[in-house]
């Protein structure tokens, strides 16, 4: 049971990193970015390339991966989102599908299909009662908590965070108060790209990077956002953890002492749960009420 | 000459499916990205009944009809309950879920091995047979969807896409129209799924991956959403291009990714070109 909880914490941290940035993007711009999984993988693969091919130190490689993630997010915003989202907010949904395909092709050409691990070899394991966890995983969970806590601080206790929340709540009102919404749009999109790259690096350190991870990563992040109440940052984070725990517990429990759910159905069961939940509560778990004058 | 008949057969067999998808994504502006999930469920149901349970084609097609009605209703229900963009993402989630079931329920679906050696209709054996029969089917579906497009139902679907509240004030209800649209689209999909899988004689999970969906979206967007002749023309041009790419002298390891990049760029170009009409603004009087 403890092992399942730890596994859920690891998978949930990855989901929370990715879903958190996206929830902000949705809150501010009202757009979905379906190339997110590929953006995360490119962050991870860049780190792998810097560390394993150029033999740079891990910390520098991670910084490089984050930089690539930021650059890719900025280019995505300028080419695939900005020219479209003012015309219709659904257009970026289709343009980012096109981008995902382009990035899929680029990943296959540059890094091939075989699994790539940023830190290959045996990992140092720590025993916690009946459960085992690697030092890398402990580090990754802690870094995620630190990142999310810093984010919470910036969002709720600084002038910059208040500006972001103002743009999320009412863009035109924020403009009229002199808040440069167009700059914040870019910044938030780039931030979401950096968080996605963090997710990719997390994946590359904890497991292996393969191109097939991109699509499920995107879908699970968005399932968390929709289930959490679209645009609700903390709702998305909580639901990312919820989905991860569901995935772990559904396949890890010996149901009624009779059977195990096969591991292949792991992500399906979580998605079935979310889909049925949304059929009854389409607005999600944590609906944010709009502020009115 | 064989390549010509092969290309013609493939184009004609896929046109009904694209026209059905065009009704949902193009005419109805419903952000439905679970189309390949529907094709997969239909194809697998028909061919599992046929190959594993030896039911014969009539019962297998009947089973396929039931499966397509069930899965189309699930998508229609989700489309009715969720906001448009949330439905777009959740329809992908349903696809992913169905895909996992097909991949893991290997005692029935044979998992990653797929089901090879699919039985063909007795009168469909060569590419020429498929091309001729497919042509008749494609012409029938073109006529059918043309009629649907110009019918009261087509106008209701377009009205709901433009402004749901105004449409409702005129007595047009989303529930009935959406369910009918999904069922009609499903009927088109059944035709494509049965004919195309018979032609290739194998049904395999890889035939329903994300790039296949992107190709579907590209056909609808490039062909002008909601336009029956446009989608038909886009099917002809894009499938011809896809088939012609087989002759590019590149190794499969390079050709596959290059094809992904090329089709991604075409989709982006098509959206850029259609950016003002893909999701039209509400009309004002």
Cβ contacts of residue A177 below 8 Å, gap of 6+?
A166
* Residue B91 belongs to some domain of the structure: yes
Closest CA to A197 of A177, A216, A217, A181: A217
Instruction: Please tell me the predicted confidence (pLDDT) of residue A63.
Output: 94
Q: Which residues contact B97 (CB under 8 A, 6 or more apart)?
A: A267, A268, A271, A272, A275
Report whether pLDDT(A279) > 90. Answer: no
The confidence band for A287, taking pLDDT boundaries of 50, 70 and 90, is: low
Whether A105 and B258 lie within 8 Å, measured CB to CB: yes
Q: What is the mean pLDDT of chain B?
A: 87
pLDDT at B236 over 80: yes
Q: Which residues on B lie below 8 Å from A93 (Cβ)?
A: 31, 85, 88
**ipTM attached to this prediction:** 0.83
Q: In this complex, which of B93, B104, B214 lies closest to A101 when CB atoms are compared?
A: B214
Q: Which pLDDT belongs to residue A82?
A: 86
Residue A89 in this model has a pLDDT that exceeds 80: no
The answer to whether the Cβ–Cβ distance between A215 and B96 falls below 8 Å is yes
What does pLDDT average to over chain A?
A: 83
Contacts of B93 in chain A (CB under 8 A): 219, 222-223, 271, 274-275
B246 within some domain: no
Q: Between B77, B221, B257, which is nearest A94 by CB?
A: B221
Within-domain flag for B129: yes
**Alpha-carbon distance values, A284 to A231, A234, B33 (Å):** 11, 12, 20
What does the pLDDT read at residue A251? 81
Contact call for residues A217 and A18 (beta carbons, < 8 A):
yes
Q: What tokens does B86 get?
A: 């949330």
Alpha-carbon distance A74 to nearest alpha carbon in chain B (angstroms): 17
Whether chain B has a CB inside 8 Å of the CB on A177: the answer is no
pLDDT at A293: 44
| Per-residue pLDDT at B106 exceeds 80 | yes
Tens of pLDDT, residues B247-258: 888 887 888 888
- For residue B283, the model assigns a pLDDT of 56
**How confident is the model at residue A187, as a pLDDT?**
87
CATH topology of domain A2-280: ABC transporter involved in vitamin B12 uptake, BtuC (1.10.3470)
Yes or no: say if A65 and A44 are a contact pair by the CB < 8 Å rule. yes
Which residues constitute the domain of residue B114?
2-235+255-273
Instruction: Look at residue A292 in the predicted model and tell me its pLDDT.
Output: 47
Structure-model confidence comparison of residues A128 and B185, the more confident one:
B185
Quick check: B83 and A101 CB within 8 A?
no
Contact of B153 with B35, CB cutoff 8 Å: no
Contact yes or no for B217 and A97 at CB 8 A: yes
Q: How many helices (H) and strands (E) does chain A have?
A: 12, 2
- B102 found inside a domain: yes
Q: Give the C-alpha separation, A61 to A50, whole Å.
A: 5
Q: Do A91 and B278 touch (CB under 8 A)?
A: yes
Q: Which of A81, A97, A232 to mutate to test the interface with B (most CBs of B within 10 A)?
A: A97
* Structural domain count of chain B: 1
CA dihedral in degrees (A14, A16, A21, A27; nearest 10)?
Answer: 150
pLDDT at B177 over 80: yes
Antiparallel, parallel or unpaired: β B115-116 and B202-203: antiparallel
Question: Which sequence spans correspond to the domains of chain A?
Answer: 2-280
Q: What is the pLDDT of residue A289?
A: 55
Query: Domain holding B79: CATH number?
Result: 1.10.3470
B267/A216 CB distance under 8 A: no
CB contact under 8 A, A108 and B88: no
Nearest CA in chain B to A95: B268
For residue A112, the chain B residue with the least C-alpha distance is B253
Q: Which residue, B243, B265, B170, is CA-closest to B9?
A: B243
Nearest CA in chain B to A99: B264
Please give the backbone phi and psi of residue A127, each rounded to the nearest 5 degrees, phi first.
Answer: -90, 125
pLDDT of residue A62: 92
Dihedral angle sign, alpha carbons of residues B114, A35, A64, B254 = positive
Q: What is the pLDDT of residues A34-62, one digit of tens each?
A: 888 899 999 999 999 999 888 899 899 99
Res. A157 pLDDT band, cuts 50 70 90: confident
- For chain A, the first-to-last Cα distance in angstroms comes to 49
């Amino acid at each position: 049971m403890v092992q399942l909880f730890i596994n859920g914490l690891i998978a949930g941290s990855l989901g929370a990193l990715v879903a958190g940035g996206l929830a902000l993007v949705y809150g501010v711009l009202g757009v979905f970015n379906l190339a997110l999984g590929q953006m995360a993988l490119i962050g991870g693969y860049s780190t792998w390339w810097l560390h394993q091919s150029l033999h740079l130190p891990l910390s520098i490689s991670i910084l490089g991966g984050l930089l690539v993630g930021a650059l890719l997010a900025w280019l995505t915003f300028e080419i695939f989102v900005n020219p479209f989202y003012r015309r219709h907010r659904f257009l970026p949904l289709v343009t980012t599908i096109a981008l995902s395909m382009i990035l899929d092709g680029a990943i296959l050409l540059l890094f091939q299909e075989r699994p790539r691990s940023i830190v290959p070899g045996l990992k140092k394991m720590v025993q916690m009662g009946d459960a085992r966890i690697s030092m890398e995983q402990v580090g990754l969970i802690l870094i995620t908590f630190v990142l999310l806590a810093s984010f919470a601080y910036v969002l709720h206790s600084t002038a910059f965070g208040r500006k972001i929340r103002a743009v999320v709540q009412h863009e035109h009102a924020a403009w009229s108060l002199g808040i440069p919404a167009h700059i914040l749009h870019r910044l938030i999109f780039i931030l979401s790209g950096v968080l996605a790259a963090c997710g990719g690096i997390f994946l590359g350190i904890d497991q292996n990077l393969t191109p097939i991870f991109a699509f499920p990563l995107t879908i699970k992040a968005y399932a968390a956002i929709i289930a959490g109440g679209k645009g609700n940052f903390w709702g998305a984070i909580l639901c990312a953890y919820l989905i991860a725990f569901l995935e772990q517990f559904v396949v890890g429990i010996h149901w009624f002492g009779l059977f195990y759910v096969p591991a292949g159905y792991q992500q399906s069961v979580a998605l079935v749960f979310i889909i049925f939940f949304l059929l009854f509560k389409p607005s999600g778990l944590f609906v944010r009420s709009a502020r009115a004058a | 000459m064989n390549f010509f008949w092969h290309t013609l057969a493939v184009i004609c067999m896929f046109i009904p499916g694209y026209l059905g998808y065009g009704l949902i994504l193009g005419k109805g502006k419903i952000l439905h990205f679970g189309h390949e999930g529907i094709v997969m469920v239909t194809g697998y149901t028909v061919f599992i009944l046929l190959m594993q349970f030896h039911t014969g084609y009539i019962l297998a097609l009947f089973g396929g009809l039931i499966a397509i009605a069930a899965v189309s209703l699930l998508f229609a229900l989700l489309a009715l309950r969720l906001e448009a963009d949330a439905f777009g993402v959740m329809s992908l989630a349903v696809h992913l879920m169905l895909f996992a079931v097909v991949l893991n329920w290997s005692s029935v679906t044979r998992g990653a091995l797929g089901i090879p050696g699919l039985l063909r209709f007795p009168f469909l054996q060569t590419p020429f047979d498929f091309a001729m029969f497919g042509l008749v089917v494609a012409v029938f579906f073109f006529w059918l969807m043309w009629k649907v497009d110009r019918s009261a139902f087509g106008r209701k679907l377009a009205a709901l896409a433009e402004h749901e509240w105004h449409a409702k004030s005129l007595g047009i209800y989303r529930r009935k129209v959406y369910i009918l649209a999904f069922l009609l689209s499903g009927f088109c999909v059944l035709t494509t799924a049965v004919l195309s899988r018979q032609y290739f004689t194998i049904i395999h999970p890889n035939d329903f991956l994300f790039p296949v969906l992107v190709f579907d979206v590209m056909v609808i967007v490039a062909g002008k959403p909601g336009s029956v002749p446009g989608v038909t023309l886009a099917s002809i041009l894009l499938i011809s291009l896809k088939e012609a790419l087989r002759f590019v002298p590149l190794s499969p390891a390079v050709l596959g990714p290059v094809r992904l990049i090329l089709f991604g760029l075409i989709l982006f170009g098509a959206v850029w070109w259609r950016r003002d009409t893909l999701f039209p603004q509400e009309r004002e009087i």
